[in-house]
Amino acid sequence: MNATKKFSDRLLENVKPIWDKNHQHPFVQELGKGILAEERFIHYMKQDYVYLLDYSKLFAVGVQKALDLEMMTNFSKTLHDTLHFEMDLHRAFAAEFGITKEELEATKPTPTNLAYTRYMLNVAQNGSLVELVSCLLPCAWDYWEIGKLLRAQYGDNLSTNKYAKWIETYDSDEFAAGAKWLIQLMDQLTDGKPEWELAQIEEHFQMTSKFEYLFWEMNYQLEEWPI
């Protein structure tokens, strides 16, 4: 591999068309403008809460598969930050909308949500550590990108945006630190890997990025089980 080009640069370059779609999705844009229908936002908050319960289990598997104490510490810190810092956002919004913590936790995942988390959990449990990281990374990295983008696009109107806390959370130093650590970890773990393995990693990265798109879409459409 070209010494100056990191594997994460390649990932970003190739995933751009998918992430651009995510960034232009009406759910994301309307959230940025503060005009997203509350019904859609509430659907998202509830679905994302149970999504995060499963997503954070990937960090727990990361602790188990970590190669050294530093990696273990970082996985367990990010697990803690997800359950506390990130999910506090959901609990705060739920309280505003009159939804209890118990109600949040009892949310039944939609078909899209379930497909997304089962895909990641299957890779986490049956694949290698770097495959696990390739599933975690789009979630953390693209949310950080969206936080930065919405701040840049709509930051001047945050005081009147009822979803401002969402943008502030994903554009925060705390959230950025987790994303940056995962990007660096991806580069560390892929250093010197053969192309067939890099291709496998990129496949997971693209797949979970597409699931990110489906997640915006399913909340915008208020997806439920049809039967």
Where does the chain have alpha helices with state H?
Answer: 7-24, 26-33, 38-65, 69-81, 87-96, 101-105, 111-126, 129-154, 164-170, 173-190, 195-220
Of 212, 217, 223, 224, which one is the catalytic site residue? 212
In the complex, the smallest distance separating the C-beta of residue 207 from ligand HMH, rounded to whole angstroms, is: 13
Please select the residue that binds ligand HMH; options are 41, 143, 163, 220, rule is CB under 6 A: 143
Site for ligand HMH in 77-116 (CB under 6 A): 86
Residue 48 engages ligand HMH in binding (rule: CB under 6 A): yes
∠ CA(68), CA(135), CA(69), 5° rounding? 10
Among this protein's residues, is 139 annotated catalytic?
yes
CA atoms within 13 A on the CB side of 217: 10
3-state DSSP assignment of residue 78: helix
| Minimum CB distance to ligand HMH, residue 4 (Å) | 30
Among 81, 215, 218, 220, binds ligand HMH (CB under 6 A): 215
Q: Which residue, 53 or 198, has its beta carbon nearer to ligand HMH?
A: 53
Contact between 149 and ligand HMH (CB under 6 A)?
no
Residues 63 and 79: beta-carbon distance below 8 Å: yes
Check binding of 163 to ligand HMH (CB under 6 A). no
Query: Does residue 220 interact with ligand HMH by CB under 6 A?
Result: no
Confirm or reject binding of residue 139 to ligand HMH (CB under 6 A): yes
> Applying CB under 6 A, does 52 fall inside the site for ligand HMH?
yes
The tally of CA atoms less than 13 A away on the side-chain side of residue 144 is 18
Please state, in angstroms and rounded to a whole number, the distance separating the CA atoms of residues 84 and 173: 15
- 212 belongs to the catalytic site: yes
Residue with smaller CB distance to ligand HMH, 151 or 194: 151
| In contact, 27 and 220? CB cutoff 8 Å | yes
The yes or no reply on residue 27 touching ligand HMH (CB under 6 A) is: no
Per CB under 6 A, which region of 44-52, 153-161, 181-189, 196-204 contacts ligand HMH?
44-52
Nearer to ligand HMH, 86 or 131 (CB): 86
Closest CB to ligand HMH: residue number = 139
Q: Please, are residues 148 and 172 in contact by the beta-carbon 8 Å criterion?
A: no
Which contacts of 80-83 are long-range, i.e. CB under 8 A and separated by 24 or more positions?
81/174, 81/178, 82/52, 82/55, 82/56, 83/52, 83/56
Residue 223 belongs to what H/E stretch?
Answer: none
Catalytic residues: 139, 212
Per CB under 6 A, residues contacting ligand HMH are 48, 51-52, 86, 139-140, 143, 212, 215
